[in-house]
Amino acid sequence: MKQEILVKVEHMNKRFGSTVALKDVSIEVCSGRVLGLIGENGSGKSTVTSIIAGMQNADSGTMTYHDKEWKPGSMLYSLEHGIGMIVQETGTVPGITVAENIFLGETKFFKSFGEKHKWGPVKRKLLNQKAQEALDAIGASHIRAEQMTANLDLQERKLIEIARIMNKHPEVLVVDETTTALSQKGREIIYNIMEQMKKENKAVVFISHDLEEIMEKCDALTVLRDGNIIVTFDKSEFDEDKIKSSMIGRQLEGDYYRSDYDGSCEDEVVLEMKDVNLTGKLIDFNLQLHKGEILGIGGLSHCGMHTLGKVMFGNKKPESGEIRIKGKKLKNEADAMKHMVGYVAKDRDTESLCLNASIKDNIAVGGLDQFTTGGFLIFPWNEKKYVQKQVETLSIKCAGINQYVSALSGGNKQKVVFGKWIGRGSDVLILDCPTRGVDIGVKQAMYQLMYQMKKEGKSIVIISEELTELIGMSDRLMIMKDGKIMHEFPRSESLSEADAIQYMI
Amino acid sequence: MKTKNLRKNVMLLAPLFGLVALLVAFFIIGTSKNINVAYGMKSIINQSVVVAVVATGAIFIYTLGSFDISLGASVAVSALVGGIVYNKTESLVIMFAACLGVAVFIGLFNSVLASIFNLPVFVTTIAMLSVLNALVLVLIKMNGTGSEIRVPMMAVSKLNTTQFKIFVLAAFFLVCLLVFSFTKVGRMQKFQGGNPICAKLSGISVKKMSIIAFIMSGIGVGLGACLSIVYAPTLTRNTASSVGMDVIIAIVFGGMPVSGGARSKIYAAVIGAFSMTLLSQIMVMFNLNSGIGQMVKAAIFILVVFLATSDQRGKMLPR
């Protein structure tokens, strides 16, 4: 099949205030190929693709699509003309049905008296039928078109977005850091779409922090750093170490995961679950977390592990059974915090952060009992000092502590969440997908931090769909399926992903 | 960056600039039309202070992203009960305590009702508005002349001074400022208004915060009721009838975001209340009748909300 340049970006520049997001960036997106974009959080990957997809404008530079000048006014315009983008964060409206989300802004086409009639009822049956067809086409038949979107989890909401975009049959598809929100099944859906697009001589721009995944799926890989294009590798030149060092501009020092295979911890039980039941999620669940232990929980997305994290933190009440923290029965989230338990949710933007608030507000809210005088009075200088310390310890890249969290990159947002819990000196940390959407440098820093905390006698539960990080970090790995623990692995050098997968499916 | 910061600061101070501009306009127009501006100013304080006090307390509810439509009716009921209590006891202290007690009770009832039935707070306040309006009529019928409840003018005349009213407003504002900006309750309220899901997962009790907000609002309503009695001791079904709507307009006028959250400002209520009354007075100076005045107010209300949210509507998140 003849390859042609579909999208050409030349000398593009973009600034956000004093931050240079893109500096003289030039990229070519060719038909029949998957182009990977990789770089640290804030390197400019999402900025360049979001400009191509019409989400925002560049400050300078030119773009062409099929050799014609390309200046999309909006994402809708872009999608209508052949360029679609699956965004990093949630892009669905919760209070409406799946079908209405798939045909958002297009329900006029389903009007009983024809699309020209502004008024009149929507043919709901037809709308649902067409939406279901769109879902079926991408292999997401388990989602029903008539369901309310708010009742679906992060992965399912992501699949709705994918169905919405693929229903328009784009010629160029941008997949921005989407796979980290998906389970293996969800990832397979994306991979199939990418493969199909390649076969149809269309183009895909694929952004991911998963190096293994990006090396497997892409035909070429462009590395960005601090808004600059560093290098473009062709498939034949892919080399993990070279890619890593060009991403971060230096060799990664120290261990990525922990290097020891000593899975020992203290005998003291800090968190215990006894015969916990929650319909459809957890069945007769028993677990003990010890002081100084890193406990990994793995499984497929719907195995109940994400609910487990919420139950452990007192956010979801089990129907029977009990959870004890340091011997005391857990009542709710505030009680968990009183016992120095922290919880990092999977859905960062909805559950772990208040996006429309500053870094200071987000970090300080976790430590209100740490820096207040008399338990309730706040002196601004104490609060500032407390927050500043977390920002420095975690090297959060920001313009200042009053910067709004919504303006931060994914990795820095996650650091803010960590700062909220680490700052208050949590003894037990429950981390649900802690490295989702986080670049390799930040990931390494987080792994090192977890290991450091273990050595300090803190206990950590890592819930993750990435088996490599679970195997790399856990003292003990539990694999869940259908709300039950299927198998438990002690830390071992010989433990492989294949060993764990057989208990997951 | 500098331009952006300047714009941000200007937007932040816009309500204050607006108040100053209205104040200057009032003096210039008043002087040019030979109106006694000193008397006019006293009248503005009398009119503004009840709305300012009630709105300052209500900021706590608005910060949570909630809405209370029954505030005016709460002021009326609290004032009527206060009047009845004074007539029975002839004690101003007990009258003030009754006003505060009733107002806080109504607030608590609203918030507890909302938590029991797991309803948005504004829904229960709509129901409460009907109940309170009916209660106003019942109280007047049972305890007054049938059309009014009268507290002897002599009993409250000593308190009917600008200094007393300003003192009550300043004291309450300072307490609210302290709670709002310098205690963990204030921080939690703003955080909950910004993202209630994340607030719950940060150990913040949504119900507790809602109850505290309604208590603070109740205190404001109670003080507003006391000031209403002091200003106009003859209480009728029209007592504080416009306060409910004026509070909403004042809060928005003062630059409070309608969605609550981290950008909430405690001073918005005071600035908004005085700006609104000044605007009304300026319109009176131009002989615009109250109907036209209301329409102008409504138009400005829409304009302020439009301008206040324009930043978010056009905003592209840096990625």
pLDDT in tens, B33-87: 888 888 888 888 988 999 999 999 999 999 998 888 899 999 999 999 999 999 9
Q: Is the dihedral of CA A452, A453, A456, A459 positive or negative?
A: negative
Do the bridges between strand A328-329 and strand A228-234 make them parallel or antiparallel, or are there none, so unpaired? unpaired
Q: Has residue B231 been placed in a domain? A: yes
Tell me if chain B has a CB within 8 Å of the CB of A390: no
Mean pLDDT of all residues belonging to chain B: 86
What single DSSP character describes residue A428? Answer: E
Superfamily of domain A5-91+154-163+170-248: P-loop containing nucleotide triphosphate hydrolases (3.40.50.300)
Nearest-CA distance B148 → chain A (Å) = 45
B201 touches B187 (CB < 8 A): no
CA distance A263 to A270: 17
Mutate to test the interface with A, among B202, B208, B259 (most CBs of A within 10 A): B202
Chain B residue numbers with beta carbons less than 8 Å from the beta carbon of A55 are: 316
Nearest to A134 by CA among A165, A97, A173, A107: A165
Indicate yes or no: CB of B187 within 8 angstroms of CB of A356: no
Range of the domain at B209: 47-306
CA distance A342 to A340: 7
Same fold, A5-91+154-163+170-248 and A267-340+427-437+456-505: yes
Q: Which of residues 239-258 of A touch B (CB under 8 A)?
A: none
A171 touches A203 (CB < 8 A): yes
β-bridge mates for residue A12, sequence order: A25
Bigger pLDDT: A479 vs B297: A479
Tell me if chain B has a CB within 8 Å of the CB of A336: yes
Work out the angle at residue A21's Cα, subtended by the Cα atoms of residues A16 and A7, and round it to the nearest 5 degrees: 120
> Kind and range of the H or E element at B143?
helix B121-143
Number of residues in chain B: 319
CA distance A207 to A53: 14
A434 touches A451 (CB < 8 A): no
Q: Work out the pLDDT band at B316, boundaries 50, 70, 90.
A: very low
Indicate yes or no: CB of B197 within 8 angstroms of CB of A351: yes
Chain A residue numbers with beta carbons less than 8 Å from the beta carbon of B202 are: 333, 337, 365-366, 420
Tokens representing A244 are 């890593």
Chain B residue numbers with beta carbons less than 8 Å from the beta carbon of A338 are: 203
Domain count for chain B, please give it: 1
Residue holding tokens 């007592």?
Answer: B239
| CATH topology classification for A267-340+427-437+456-505 | Rossmann fold (3.40.50)
pLDDT above 90: percentage of residues in chain B = 47
A84 touches A161 (CB < 8 A): no
Q: How far is CA A253 from the centre of its chain?
A: 25
Tokens representing A87 are 């965004």
Mutate to test the interface with B, among A49, A356, A409 (most CBs of B within 10 A): A356
> Kind and range of the H or E element at A10?
strand A5-16
CB nearest to B1's CB, from A18, A376, A380: A18
Q: What is the pLDDT of residues B90-101, one digit of tens each?
A: 999 999 999 999
- Ordered by start, the domain boundaries in chain A are 5-91+154-163+170-248, 96-147, 267-340+427-437+456-505, 348-426
Tell me chain A's radius of gyration from C-alpha atoms: 24
Indicate yes or no: CB of A361 within 8 angstroms of CB of B194: yes
Tokens representing A462 are 């890592």
B82 touches B99 (CB < 8 A): yes
Tell me chain B's radius of gyration from C-alpha atoms: 20
Task: Please give the full DSSP string across B213-260, using - where no structure is assigned.
Answer: HHHHHHHHHHHHHHHHHHH--EE-TTTTTTHHHHHHHHHHHTT--TT-
Numbers of helices and strands, H then E, in chain A: 17, 20
Tokens representing B77 are 């009921």
Q: Give the Å distances, CA to CA, from B263 to A124, A350, A404, B257, B267.
A: 40, 18, 11, 7, 12
CATH of the domain at B281: 1.10.3470
Q: Is the dihedral of CA A128, A131, A137, A143 positive or negative?
A: negative
DSSP helix/strand/coil, A74: coil
Q: Has residue B261 been placed in a domain? A: yes
CB nearest to B194's CB, from A21, A55, A354: A354
A34 touches A213 (CB < 8 A): no
Nearest to A264 by CA among A291, A236, A228: A291
Tokens representing A342 are 């922290």
pLDDT at B279: 86
Tell me if chain A has a CB within 8 Å of the CB of B203: yes
Q: Work out the pLDDT band at B318, boundaries 50, 70, 90.
A: very low
Phi and psi of A233, rounded to 5°?
-100, 140
B118 touches B265 (CB < 8 A): no
pLDDT at A25: 92
Other beta carbons within 10 Å of A449 = 18
Q: Is the dihedral of CA A137, A143, A147, A150 positive or negative?
A: negative
CA distance A28 to A249: 23
Q: Work out the pLDDT band at B132, boundaries 50, 70, 90.
A: very high
Nearest to A305 by CA among A417, A472, A430: A430
Edge to edge, the sheet with strand A428-432 lists A341-344, A428-432, A459-463, A294-299, A476-481, A484-490
Residues of chain A short of pLDDT 50, as ranges, are: none
Asked whether the predicted pLDDT for residue B314 surpasses 60, the reply is no
| Helix/strand/coil percentages in chain B, nearest 5 | 75, 0, 20
CA distance A339 to A332: 11
Do the bridges between strand A320-325 and strand A484-490 make them parallel or antiparallel, or are there none, so unpaired? unpaired
Q: Give the Å distances, CA to CA, from A216 to A177, A221, A344, A459, B94.
A: 15, 11, 30, 35, 79
Phi and psi of A29, rounded to 5°?
-110, 115
Nearest to A366 by CA among B305, B173, B203, B128: B203
Other beta carbons within 10 Å of B63 = 29
A176 touches A120 (CB < 8 A): no
Tell me if chain A has a CB within 8 Å of the CB of B194: yes
Q: Has residue B230 been placed in a domain? A: yes
Q: Has residue B92 been placed in a domain? A: yes
Nearest-CA distance A4 → chain B (Å) = 29
**ipTM at complex level:** 0.84
DSSP helix/strand/coil, A404: strand
Q: Has residue B34 been placed in a domain? A: no
pLDDT at B319: 27
Chain B residue numbers with beta carbons less than 8 Å from the beta carbon of A407 are: 317-318
Q: What is the pLDDT of residues B1-42, one digit of tens each?
A: 455 566 666 777 778 888 898 899 999 988 888 888 888 888
Q: Has residue B202 been placed in a domain? A: yes
CA distance B58 to B214: 8
β-bridge mates for residue A223, sequence order: A38, A231
Tokens representing B281 are 């007075």
> Kind and range of the H or E element at B273?
helix B268-285
| Helix/strand/coil percentages in chain A, nearest 5 | 35, 25, 35
Non-local (6+) Cβ contacts of A368 within 8 A are A378, B184, B187, B188
Phi and psi of A235, rounded to 5°?
-50, -40
pLDDT at A262: 87
Q: What is the pLDDT of residues B215-261, one digit of tens each?
A: 999 999 999 999 999 998 888 888 888 888 889 889 988 888 878 89
Q: Has residue B139 been placed in a domain? A: yes
